[in-house]
Structure 1
Amino acid sequence: MDEHAAMELVERARSETAHLAAALARQRDEIVASSEFTSGDDEHDPEGATIAFEREQVQALLRQAQDDLAALGQAAERVRAGVYEICERCGGPIAEGRLTALPATRTCIACANRR
């Protein structure tokens, strides 16, 4: 894969992940805003546990999206450094199909399977 194709792959994934993160942040904000109109007592409010669960679930998904954005930023740096297709563990090649499926991956399949 040439540098241009690799950067395009990473940038497309970053764009999609940034849109997802923005949507999750809006969803989290909506949950927080809607919970302002309910009782602050999650333990005794029948809807409280559901709201708390939804808020934590969306927050966890948002954290994952933010982590993915950071990993994709590192992937872009690896593209610029010319080491995008090189496994960080063994120094061998990372298959193009693996990079297409997981643009932020840093390891080849063999090293990933050793974990």
Structure 2
Amino acid sequence: MAGTREVLEAERAQAMRRLHALDDEFADFVEASRDSNADDEHDPEGATIAFERSQVSALTRQVQSHLAEIDAALARLDDGTYGTCQTCGRPIAPGRLEARPAATTCIDCASKGG
């Protein structure tokens, strides 16, 4: 699978950049909350600091999950099982792997919730 490792490593690098940016954003919210009124629920300016921190935390968890998927795909590439459906054992269509390089299931199994 020529180029697969490069695609996965590029996705991993992009996810790491996103994770670092989210970490910085979270740190900024923590710093901002130190200097603000602890009760930001009634802030007429808009969203609360707590809400913003919660949003950044959720995005961070999503990126971390995606990183785990990419790392698992790289491991499958190394052990020779990349591109094989983990549910039925059939090959995963190249188009699916192109669209979603960390895919673990073929389209049929994915559509069945497998």
- Percent identity between matched residues is 47
Deviation track 1:34-82 (CA, whole Å, cap 9, x = no partner) reads 1111111244555696211111001100111011111111110000011
Deviating beyond 4 angstroms after TM superposition, the runs of 4 or more aligned structure 1 residues are 43-49
Q: Count how many residue pairs are aligned between Structure 1 and Structure 2.
A: 113
The question of 1:100 aligning with 2:64 is answered: no
- Equivalent position SS for 1:105: coil
Instruction: Report the RMSD for the aligned CA atoms in angstroms.
Output: 1.6
Alpha-carbon distance in 2 for matches of 1:27, 1:98: 33
Match of 1:25 in 2: 23
Please state whether the residue corresponding to 2:102 is helix, strand or coil: coil
Q: CA deviation at 1:13?
A: 0.7
Higher RCO (C-alpha 8 Å, min separation 6):
1
| Contact 2:41-2:48 at 8 Å conserved across structures | no
Could you say what secondary structure the match of 2:35 adopts? coil
What's the TM-score once normalised by structure 2's chain length? Answer: 0.90
Q: What is aligned with 1:81?
A: 79
- Asked if 1:14 corresponds to 2:22, the answer is no
**What is the TM-score of this pair, normalised by structure 1?**
0.89
Give the stretch that moved more between structures: 34-43 or 47-56: 47-56
Unaligned stretches of 5+ residues in structure 1? none
Q: Which structure 2 residue ranges, 5 or more long, are not aligned?
A: none
